[in-house]
Amino acid sequence: MDVLDWLSAALGEEAIAEGVLSTDPALLDAARTDRSGWIATGSPLAIVSARTVEHVQAALRAASEFRIPVVPRGAGTGLAGGANGTEGSLVLDVSGMNRILEISAEDQLAVVEPGVVNSDLNAALEPYGLFFAPDPASKAISTVGGNIATNAGGLLCAKYGVTREAVLGLTVVLADGRVVRTGHRTVKGVTGYDLTALFVGSEGTLGVIVGATVRAQPIPPGEPVTLGALFPDVRAAAEASARITAARLRPAVMELLDAPALERISAYLGRERIEEAFGASAGASYLLVQFDGPTAAADAGAAGTVLTETGGTVRVAADAEEGERLLALRRAFHPALASSGEVLIEDVAVPRSRMPEMFAAIERISARYGIPIPTVAHAGDGNLHPNFVYTGDEVPQAVWDAANDLFRTAIELGGTLTGEHGVGVLKRRWLADELGPDSYELQVKLKSVFDPLGILNPGKVFGA
Amino acid sequence: MDVLDWLSAALGEEAIAEGVLSTDPALLDAARTDRSGWIATGSPLAIVSARTVEHVQAALRAASEFRIPVVPRGAGTGLAGGANGTEGSLVLDVSGMNRILEISAEDQLAVVEPGVVNSDLNAALEPYGLFFAPDPASKAISTVGGNIATNAGGLLCAKYGVTREAVLGLTVVLADGRVVRTGHRTVKGVTGYDLTALFVGSEGTLGVIVGATVRAQPIPPGEPVTLGALFPDVRAAAEASARITAARLRPAVMELLDAPALERISAYLGRERIEEAFGASAGASYLLVQFDGPTAAADAGAAGTVLTETGGTVRVAADAEEGERLLALRRAFHPALASSGEVLIEDVAVPRSRMPEMFAAIERISARYGIPIPTVAHAGDGNLHPNFVYTGDEVPQAVWDAANDLFRTAIELGGTLTGEHGVGVLKRRWLADELGPDSYELQVKLKSVFDPLGILNPGKVFGA
């Protein structure tokens, strides 16, 4: 019996009739890529569109039995190639497991299946005055399971925490098909090792997440207040963001756009919209800041003073609508880049105090390779997204060379080569550089505890 | 050559002259216990009072060479027997590694050695307007390394997070003496598995923490506002605390004292002080709430309305001094119990919504065994400390039987047998009950990745 026969029998007639198992070439082809643009060579063997935990168990048992690689996958919005279906693999798509099983307003948590889309969860939580904090840029289409698999970040992290801090407990199917539950429905709990935290960010290499108990936080009361400031250069903008933090102000959002980024947005939307929204012409660096909660207006006032004193031309949005227009300009950054070619979005993070140095390094690297590197930063937590625009099917070697320089600089500055996207395929060759040999060796051994046969997303994270 | 000769040579003459290695019976005897009162049988072999990372490395190399158990230890303020020096072990005391190596106001972090006492760290951070959030009741004497080893909690966790959320990176000496660094100086970072989170709460069973980069949060501006309410019974007080949370108020402190707890405090301090502070006579249940930050006064007003509507007799402290008096009464709880015997402090946590059921179970178990169980709860996160007072050197079997019932109830209610103290020796026999066999097996295998020879704190956490 081959693996597909075995798997068909394990899934059962009903699942087969529902199309849970497919070898449709179009589906298989679509599963070879994600939003990074990287396409796996060769074709996956089949795709399991799981609807239940039992489907996931059947897939993993089949994979264990036949030593077939399994690639867990959600909405495919990853940016590191972590969920891409590789040659001969069984793609395990859990995006159809998308029920919200429980919302507890009292315990401020939700119990969800992994395929729930971020924005759907937040729509369901909103009537309770609660929200799920992780907010990757793809939140309209990304899933909670994908957030957990990558320990996703987003704009709100500096104030509201990364995904790890939003996960209380998990249900995971192990490589051999057993189901384990980790964590609790409580905020506190120290019984044994923190397996929950270990699975968060493990990119499908330790098990397949089939359920999560996540924290829901109270929606901050009142209207958010947004302000922005134009600076003569990116160093001044970075300095201004550092001073906001130093003033002990805690913005919900603080986004920094450098000159190449502003130029692209300006070309995409038209210079008039930039001038109208920013109250000044583009071409320099911009810092966008939003405060929420009961002291939003007072905080924005204090921040405005800081920004002015740092040499910024400041504009405070008069109302929510104007604030939304400022944010919309920031959101236009990725579409602006995508309109002129393929985009590689990089993702370094450095300590906040080293941001000016990192921006200086980006300028230097851009000049050295003759490649523009428009960059946006989540300035509140030092997470920078330098972007490369290219044409063709593959990232050019010069872009990778420039990215290599970026990664090494970030690590030298006390930071990391990935703040929130993950390692996947695209960054695995730098993993050991950042971790060092001893930590790398421990991680490989940890993986083998969970995955002795090496069937869980092989070639991802490790194995450059 | 025996282990002590080998270790002496490895430590070097200077360390030996400084008394880093000792077999002083008084020191060894003191290292057999912690604040739980549990005393290890037999005597440790020796104690290494490490001053440097090299001392720790030498101790672990010696232990690996001779297969000697190593018991990492800080201030000895643990409540589960995790740091108690067992028979024939090498106690590795890192409380002398107590330097604050760096405070970065810009990056809002501190780099510390493990022996830094919580209150010393906070005293050093205060001029920068920052604080280290973990605040176990022992914070005046407990160490940051101990906080990390147990993933310590405290009163402020519901609002400011447990220790895991306050740790950015660690320096750890592995069982064979190698040094690894985990994490970053950044808030974000997803390169590889989260070894930092794995070491947090590992109770000395995976490695010895010799350095930590910890988050420092801005001190909330303004004066805190404290209020309290007396309720006819503990269920009403628990209901009131749930309504405060449901009203989306976020107290910094919310402590619930049941009737047996209040009685003990009253007997200890005198009824007059209770009446003066609470504005009512003791004997019922009490909820103490403190708000901080710029909206403290408004939040306290809203909370007062909620407490009154729930049937409480409410008193809002007129000023910081009166607020401090209310907190002092809460702090008198443990001294009050200790004044009448030995105390076993238990540490279950349940989802907030299940607190009334947990309190009802405590009353039932107390009646069944004829043992008073005065209880205080961190009501904001559902973490209850049921206390047992006994006489003699050992915890009586009836107390353990009652505790066993408490643990099982907490687990049934979706909670845990330890919210913040850890497993150590005293709770290891219940570990598998809470984790289940598959998760337990994974944890044992994880330990063996880090500790193949089984020398790191053997008999703690695992091995009941």
Quote the percentage of chain A above a pLDDT of 90: 90
Query: What's residue A296's pLDDT?
Result: 96
Mark yes or no for CB contact A151/B195 under 8 Å.
Answer: no
Contacts of A185 in chain B (CB under 8 A): 351, 414-415
Give tens-digit pLDDT for A48-102. Answer: 999 999 999 999 999 999 999 999 999 999 999 999 999 999 999 999 999 999 9
pLDDT band at B275; cut points 50, 70, 90: confident
Which CATH number does A221-421 carry? 3.40.462.10
Cα angle at B256 between B263 and B236, to 5 degrees?
90
Cβ proximity of B36 and B80 under 8 Å: yes
Q: From the candidates A171, A174, A186, A213, which should be mutated to test the interface with B, based on the most B CB atoms within 10 A? A: A186
Q: How close, in Å, is residue B11 to chain A by CA atoms?
A: 23
Contacts of A200 in chain B (CB under 8 A): 194
Give tens-digit pLDDT for A226-267. Answer: 999 999 999 999 999 999 998 999 999 999 999 999 999 989
Q: Does the domain formed by B100-218 have CATH 3.30.420.60? A: no
- Prediction ipTM score: 0.96
- By the CB < 8 Å criterion, does B157 face chain A? yes
Of A352, A381, A461, the CB nearest to B106: A352
Which residues does residue B217 pair with via DSSP β-bridges, in sequence order? Answer: B131
> Quick one: which of B381, B259, B375, B265 has its CA closest to B325?
B265
Query: What's residue B280's pLDDT?
Result: 62
Query: What's residue B42's pLDDT?
Result: 95
Return the biggest CA–CA distance within chain B. Answer: 74
Query: What's residue A277's pLDDT?
Result: 72
Average pLDDT over residues B260-270: 91
Average pLDDT over residues A213-228: 95
> Quick one: which of B308, B447, B334, B318 has its CA closest to B389?
B334
Give tens-digit pLDDT for A379-390. Answer: 999 999 999 999
Query: What's residue B281's pLDDT?
Result: 62
Query: What's residue B368's pLDDT?
Result: 97
Cβ proximity of A261 and A376 under 8 Å: yes
pLDDT at A280 > cutoff 80: no
Which CATH number does A3-93 carry? 3.30.43.10
Cβ proximity of B258 and B360 under 8 Å: no
Query: What's residue A49's pLDDT?
Result: 98
- CA-to-CA distance for B225 and B304, rounded, in angstroms? 11
Q: From the candidates B135, B159, B188, B416, which should be mutated to test the interface with A, based on the most A CB atoms within 10 A? A: B188
Give tens-digit pLDDT for B291-317. Answer: 999 999 999 999 999 999 999 999 999
Of B191, B218, B415, the CB nearest to A248: B218
Quote the percentage of chain B above a pLDDT of 90: 90
Please give the single-letter amino acid code of residue B209.
I
- CA-to-CA distance for B427 and B443, rounded, in angstroms? 16
- By the CB < 8 Å criterion, does B13 face chain A? no
Residue whose entry in the numeric block shows the structure tokens 């003791």: B282
pLDDT at B282 > cutoff 60: no
Q: Could you state, in order of their start, the residue ranges of all structural domains in chain A?
A: 3-93, 100-218, 221-421
The residue among B149 and B392 whose pLDDT is bigger is B149
Average pLDDT over residues B94-111: 97
- CA-to-CA distance for B279 and B286, rounded, in angstroms? 12
Query: What's residue B101's pLDDT?
Result: 98
Average pLDDT over residues A417-438: 96
- CA-to-CA distance for B121 and B133, rounded, in angstroms? 11
Cβ proximity of B114 and B148 under 8 Å: yes
Query: What's residue A192's pLDDT?
Result: 96
Query: What's residue A282's pLDDT?
Result: 54
Query: What's residue B238's pLDDT?
Result: 94
> Quick one: which of B241, B248, B222 has its CA closest to B289?
B241
Q: From the candidates B130, B168, B186, B355, which should be mutated to test the interface with A, based on the most A CB atoms within 10 A? A: B186
- CA-to-CA distance for B60 and A79, rounded, in angstroms? 42
Cα angle at B426 between B420 and B430, to 5 degrees?
85
Give tens-digit pLDDT for B415-458. Answer: 999 999 999 999 999 999 999 999 999 999 999 999 999 999 99
Which residues does residue B416 pair with via DSSP β-bridges, in sequence order? Answer: B349
Query: What's residue A450's pLDDT?
Result: 98
The residue among A292 and A320 whose pLDDT is bigger is A292
Q: How close, in Å, is residue B427 to chain A by CA atoms?
A: 9
Helices B259-269 and B271-278: crossing angle in degrees, nearest 10, is 120
Which residues does residue A90 pair with via DSSP β-bridges, in sequence order? Answer: A46, A70
pLDDT band at B271; cut points 50, 70, 90: confident
Contacts of A349 in chain B (CB under 8 A): 184, 186-189
Mark yes or no for CB contact A106/B417 under 8 Å.
Answer: no
Residue whose entry in the numeric block shows the structure tokens 């402020």: B156
pLDDT at B60 > cutoff 60: yes
Q: How many beta-carbon pairs under 8 angstroms link A with B?
A: 251
- B34 phi, psi to nearest 5 deg: -140, -160
Residue whose entry in the numeric block shows the structure tokens 């490790």: A462
Contacts of B431 in chain A (CB under 8 A): 191-192
- By the CB < 8 Å criterion, does A239 face chain B? no
Mark yes or no for CB contact B184/A415 under 8 Å.
Answer: yes
Contacts of A364 by beta carbon, 8 Å cutoff, 6+ apart: none
Average pLDDT over residues B54-73: 98
- CA-to-CA distance for B154 and A306, rounded, in angstroms? 35
- By the CB < 8 Å criterion, does B127 face chain A? no
pLDDT at B383 > cutoff 90: yes
Query: What's residue A393's pLDDT?
Result: 85
- B120 phi, psi to nearest 5 deg: -70, -40
- CA-to-CA distance for A448 and A445, rounded, in angstroms? 5
Of B187, B193, B218, the CB nearest to A157: B187
pLDDT band at A281; cut points 50, 70, 90: low
- A184 phi, psi to nearest 5 deg: -150, 180
Give tens-digit pLDDT for A18-52. Answer: 999 999 999 999 999 999 999 999 999 999 999 99
Query: What's residue B283's pLDDT?
Result: 58
Q: To which H or E segment does residue A362 belong?
A: helix A355-369
pLDDT at A162 > cutoff 80: yes
- A338 phi, psi to nearest 5 deg: -65, -20
Query: What's residue A270's pLDDT?
Result: 87
